[in-house]
Amino acid sequence: MKTKILMAALLSSVVMTAGAAQAQGHRERPDFASLDANGDGQLTMDEMAQKAAARFAEVDGDADGTLSADELTAAAANNAADRAARMIAHLDENDDGVLQLSEMQPRGGERRGRMLSQMDADADGAISEEEFQTAKTRRDECRSNGHGPRGRG
């Protein structure tokens, strides 16, 4: 039982420090191969602890063994800059280095259309306050049950 609890705690720390380190160097979540340091096809607590420590160290700019608000803020800023650059690279159809509304419309327009259809219970082409509140309640219930962006379960 203690082993399972320790394994869960270590895995959580890998995921949490991965998020902080992702902000620093924008890495994807670790895959199995990157966690399996010795390549034996199995993850051990030692391997996960090593990965968590490495991720933590990447964000710990002054190497003092703690993550300050400034270090976390810097990591988040680096992540935001990286994401913005990737977004421009992906969506900038005319290669001018900036995004116009028209370059963002197709994806957003389709999504908005689907959202409107899903929320518009009476199919009148508009969302009433009641329909809006019903959709919000459904979304909140879904998230509180471990589904959706905030509760990946």
107-120 burial, b if ≥16 CB within 10 A, otherwise e? eeeeeeeeeeeebb
pLDDT higher than 80, residue 90 = yes
pLDDT higher than 80, residue 21 = no
pLDDT higher than 80, residue 46 = yes
Q: Give 120-150 pLDDT, tens digit per residue.
A: 899 888 888 999 899 889 888 888 877 655 4
Q: Give 49-75 pLDDT, tens digit per residue.
A: 998 898 899 999 999 999 999 999 999
With CA atoms as reference, report the closest residue to 97 among 89, 109, 105, 86. Answer: 89
pTM for the model: 0.46
